[in-house]
Structure 1
Amino acid sequence: MELADKAVGLVLSLISLSIFTYYTFWVIILPFVDSDHFIHKYFLPKEYALIIPIFAGVSLLSFLSMFIGYVMQKSKRKSA
């Protein structure tokens, strides 16, 4: 099982690194490249550079809030 855990960790690390690299290039470097350059066809429009992280953050906070509420309700039932 230890080998499977390492493989999953490696895959998740590679996915995270690729997303970070893509987003960094998209937000920081791409605005300095001419708009008619071919590289622009591989990236989403600039508006999504804000929409995607905001949506992800709101989703994460919502999930964490629901999880914490669930755990608090469950612990309240056990103590009562």
Structure 2
Amino acid sequence: MDLADKAVGLLLSGISLSVFTYYTFWVIILPFVDTDHFVHKYFLPQEYAILIPVFALVALLCFLCMFVGYVMLKSKKKKA
């Protein structure tokens, strides 16, 4: 395996772990912390904890539908 591939994999793993830790703390632990605590200034309001994943899921589904449609149109042209 190339060194660049390992570096990219390590970088993606680090980013994924950071996002998972941030989101988990935001959704599970932060509601039990007092609202006047300084840690609240590092997080978005709780409504975004649901809106961001829903938006990401809708965007992913739209992309997948467009990709499947593109592949179907391309395969139809090959048959003709």
Q: TM-score range by the shorter chain?
A: over 0.9
Deviation string, structure 1 residues 11-68 (Cα, Å, up to 9, x no partner): 1111111011100000011001111111101100111111111110100110011011
Aligned length: 80
Can you give the 5+ residue segments of structure 1 that lack an aligned partner in the other structure?
none
Following the alignment from structure 1 to structure 2, what is the Cα–Cα distance between the partners of residues 2 and 68?
32
Percent identity, aligned pairs only, is: 77
Which contiguous aligned blocks of 4+ residues in structure 1 show a shift greater than 2 angstroms? Answer: none
Can you give the 5+ residue segments of structure 2 that lack an aligned partner in the other structure?
none
- State the TM-score, normalizing by the size of structure 1: 0.94
Following the alignment from structure 2 to structure 1, what is the Cα–Cα distance between the partners of residues 68 and 16?
25
CA RMSD, 1 decimal: 1.1
Partner in structure 1 of residue 4 of structure 2: 4
